[in-house]
Structure 1
Amino acid sequence: MGENIGCMEMRRLELPDRSQSKMLLDDLVVRIPTVAPQLVDRPLVLYGAGKLGQLAAQLMDFLGIPIAYAIDRSPPANNLLLDRIPVYLPEEAPKKNHASHLVAVCVVVAPYTPIQSYLHTMGWLHVRPFYDVAEAYAGRVPLNNGWFAGALNTNDREQISRLLDAWYDDISRAAHLQFLAWRVHREEWLFSAAPVTIDNRYFIPEVLSALNSEECFLDAGAWRGTVCQRFLIESKGKFEQIVAIEADKDNACALRDWVKSLQPDQKNRIQIRECALSEEQGCFPFAHGYDLTSRLMPKAMGNVETFTLDYLNIPCSVAKIHLEGGELAALQGGLKTLKRYRPILAITVYHNCDGLWRTATWLMEHLSEYLFLFRMHAWCGTGAVIYAIPKERQV
């Protein structure tokens, strides 16, 4: 586990049609993956002191893994990460560490390949994405963004091939292949006319053009209200209701504080449910206190009450579901609701192997007269979102 990956090259491709996308899929299938998680087997340096760098530092703290320092082209004003870990400009880092230290790249808002190439050019020998490092400790922390798909088998190939036929547009085919290339081989594929869009996650043009002033917006996995706030902006405050579901205790508290800060005409239309969505009701282990990565997790120290979407019977017309890997289970527990209210859906699929094809296949098999799109909103195989738009709401 954890052999260093050589300096990668970004593969640049034209937007594929159905036939071309299947040829590219076959290229992924026939090659044997040689990548694996990366244990911290040498002193650790973080590249990037932004949000992901902060999360990385917190998780390493929990694991008891020390961080030597961080490097960043735009260090924080106090030159500290979490107010205690030194942050240096790349050129200021001790050159004697280049061969001995492991650099974990904590950036997903830009391509990984140019960053890795830049660090190799500076002399750093051991460079990996942070999520590859975190995946080596997946049983101890709830973060699961770094999973490896492994080799695709015959059934995987058949199921994915059907999806490549079924996606609404060539951009979706390109995005799905880009996602697969990273998850299977840790390769960065870049398609012309199919950019990774960082700033419009959940609110792509096809969704925005379908919105009206009577929406009931379900935010499942609402965290601290960031997406709800974006919905307020995009809807210009014209909506019927927002239902925000958040299971983590700390996040739910922050979510309530945010709602309290709003004007009465807005906060009176927002309902918060402190629970988790799943395919069954009960009380299940939940990893509280991990910020964005808190989730249902076997053997977690805490617990949370779970409900099915059908039990809650929320009359949602737009639903964003981001549950750190619990998305398919939540959908399965809400089939009657989905069929009754036919909401616009935005579903994250980058937290586990359900995202390869199972979640999309379930949606396409159970929701008739929908358009299905796949978009990438971050790099390193993250930010993958499936959008489902009822045909009657297409503009």
Structure 2
Amino acid sequence: MLTGLYGAGFLGRRIGREIDTEFVFVDDTPSKLGAIIDGHKVTSLELFSRCAPSHSLVLYVCIYQPGFSYLKKRAEIRAMYPELDVRPFTALFHSAASGALPYLFFESPTRLGEKLDRYEEIGRLLNDDLSRSTLSGHLAFRITGQFEKIVSTSRRDVPFLKDVLSPTVTYVDAGAYDGDTTEDFVAITNGRFGHLCLVEPDAKNICRAEKRLADLSLSNSVTFRQEAISDVRGLMGFNALGSVGSSLDSGADDKVKTSLLSDFDCEGQLYIKLDIEGAEIPAISASIAFIASRRPILAISVYHRPDDLLEAVKLLQDIEGYAFYVRCHGPAGEDLMLYAIPN
């Protein structure tokens, strides 16, 4: 059997360092073809497929990034190269590459199994059937590694949110990236809102967001703030990647201003979306008194670490009058969001 890891990027290399099986990297990036990465040759899909029928070929798709669909990629590869046995990287997480865990929300099935009672408690707190089926599907995906278990919906398909938004609401997009989620918010409200505040520490991402929103003719209703929401005010190291993965890093040379959630308070209804690359829980914890008194609408990313959802609900459930919803807005389990709607 000949094994290929499709994707010689961060995830593929992380998995490759853990497995004992001989393998080659398979990648579509022209600059990588023929190179040796971590001691393994990089080849193309076409060249890899030519190794059949002298070898049985197993190809593990080792790509996990926003918007990427394993199921679509598997269908594409099978259509072009039916001789390939295409499998997800999660199959390796559950076997030869278990040492690569935890990774984002992925953890060993054994550790996850120890927490299922707590997830059942969260299920009883959720406010609609779709939230419960979304949570159930996400847990089934994490246990089995089967992408087919995921229940996902569009970021614009949030009727429980649309029903409560005021036409004068202020939307704080914390971790705004290139403005894509702000654009979704504008669509959800049909352009009826008070103000938009995009908070993004990466200057390159802010430039992209400015260009994206310029087309919406919203210049008088938008504020861009190059800073990061955190659990402390001050300056912190930051890895400016110019991508969705830009994140705080205390060891980085570049510095960015950090602020608390309360620094974005305003009059009237306040809606905060928080997607800050794994720093959500400390930021919420540091501002829990503000949240309890101000009662903003919250949309919290809970997929960067295994216990994000458990910890977010634990922090918020004792604040009286919040209704909770869970939605997965990504095709591969990413963009798992906890919505907290004040009554």
TM-score (norm 1): 0.66
Is the CA contact (8 Å cut-off) linking 2:60 and 2:88 kept in structure 1?
yes
Give deviations 1:66-111, integer Å, cap 9, x for gaps: 75336xxxxxxxxxxxxxxxxx6xxx96331775674425476656
Is the CA contact (8 Å cut-off) linking 1:245 and 1:276 kept in structure 2?
yes
Root-mean-square deviation (CA), in Å?
Answer: 4.2
2-structure distance, mates of 1:310, 1:169: 30
User: Quick one: which amino acid aligns to residue 42 of structure 1?
Assistant: F
Q: Which residue of 2 aligns with 1:39?
A: 16
1-structure distance, mates of 2:179, 2:37: 25
SS of the residue 1:305 aligns to: strand
User: Quick one: which amino acid aligns to residue 233 of structure 2?
Assistant: Q
Identical-residue share of aligned pairs (%): 21
Task: Describe the shift of the 1:190–1:379 C-alpha distance in structure 2 as closer, same or farther (beyond 3 A).
Answer: same
Task: Describe the shift of the 1:340–1:300 C-alpha distance in structure 2 as closer, same or farther (beyond 3 A).
Answer: same
Shift of 1:220: 0.6
SS of the residue 1:212 aligns to: coil
Task: Describe the shift of the 1:66–1:300 C-alpha distance in structure 2 as closer, same or farther (beyond 3 A).
Answer: farther
Task: Describe the shift of the 1:313–1:138 C-alpha distance in structure 2 as closer, same or farther (beyond 3 A).
Answer: farther
- Aligned pairs for 1:284-323 (under 5 A) are 284-315=236-267, 317-323=270-276
2-structure distance, mates of 1:276, 1:117: 39
Task: Describe the shift of the 1:289–1:117 C-alpha distance in structure 2 as closer, same or farther (beyond 3 A).
Answer: closer
Q: Following superposition, which runs of at least 4 residues in structure 1 exceed 6 angstroms of deviation?
A: 60-66, 130-133, 135-139
SS of the residue 1:127 aligns to: strand
Task: Describe the shift of the 1:130–1:290 C-alpha distance in structure 2 as closer, same or farther (beyond 3 A).
Answer: farther
Is the CA contact (8 Å cut-off) linking 2:78 and 2:86 kept in structure 1?
no
Shift of 1:125: 4.5
Task: Describe the shift of the 1:297–1:129 C-alpha distance in structure 2 as closer, same or farther (beyond 3 A).
Answer: farther
In structure 2, which of residues 80, 87, 93 is the aligned counterpart of residue 127 of structure 1?
87
Q: Which residue of 2 aligns with 1:186?
A: 145
Give deviations 1:189-227, integer Å, cap 9, x for gaps: 648xxx422xx2265121122223111011011011111
- Aligned pairs for 1:235-384 (under 5 A) are 235-260=189-214, 262-263=216-217, 266-315=218-267, 317-365=270-318, 367-384=319-336
Q: Which residue of 2 aligns with 1:16?
A: none
Q: Which residue of 2 aligns with 1:76?
A: none
TM-score (norm 2): 0.75
Shift of 1:172: 1.8
User: Quick one: which amino acid aligns to residue 302 of structure 1?
Assistant: D
Give deviations 1:246-278, integer Å, cap 9, x for gaps: 012211222234445553xx2111111111111
SS of the residue 1:122 aligns to: coil
Task: Describe the shift of the 1:166–1:130 C-alpha distance in structure 2 as closer, same or farther (beyond 3 A).
Answer: closer
